[in-house]
């Protein structure tokens, strides 16, 4: 079973850069690495995805090493509104289906 491992929680201050790393040792060859953000009482929402190297969008950057066994979500200059739970997403490569498993998530708290 594809298992993703992330830190349970992180604290940061406004204006700092936050890096959250996820380990996904069993990621399938043809799978993207995808990250989600979830605010309280809302469904998760897609932030960013990548296959290898670096991807950047208006919200975040995603760094993926050559072996693809981990990925790092980078949030530049966080604000209080970035306080949320961040999930990396893995697919079960043995099931032959699109069974996507969420890890425990990283609870980010941004302090003033």
- Residue in 83, 86, 89, 82 with CA at minimum distance from that of residue 73: 86
Binding pattern for the stretch 31-60 against other proteins, x by CB under 8 A and - elsewhere: xxxx-x-----xxxxx--x-x---------
In whole angstroms, what is the distance from residue 73 CA to residue 49 CA?
A: 10
Among 58, 67, 97, 112, binds other proteins (CB under 8 A): 97
In whole angstroms, what is the distance from residue 98 CA to residue 74 CA?
A: 26
> 41 with 53: CB under 8 angstroms?
no
- Give the count of residues interacting with other proteins (CB under 8 A): 28
The answer to whether residue 102 forms part of the interface with other proteins (CB under 8 A) is yes
Name the one range near other proteins by CB under 8 A: 10-18, 53-61, 62-70, 88-96.
88-96
Closest to other proteins by CB, 43 or 67: 43
Q: In which residue are the tokens 């509104």 written?
A: 81
């Amino acid at each position: 079973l594809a298992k993703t491992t992330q830190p349970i929680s992180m604290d940061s201050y406004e204006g700092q850069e936050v890096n959250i790393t996820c380990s996904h040792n069993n990621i399938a060859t043809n799978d993207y690495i995808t990250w989600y953000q979830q605010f309280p009482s809302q469904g998760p929402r897609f932030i960013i995805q990548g296959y290898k190297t670096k991807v950047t969008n208006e919200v975040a950057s995603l760094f993926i090493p050559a072996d693809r066994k981990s990925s790092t979500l980078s949030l530049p200059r966080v604000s209080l509104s970035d306080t949320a739970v961040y999930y990396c997403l893995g697919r079960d490569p043995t099931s032959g289906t699109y069974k996507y498993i969420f890890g425990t998530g990283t609870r980010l708290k941004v302090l003033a």
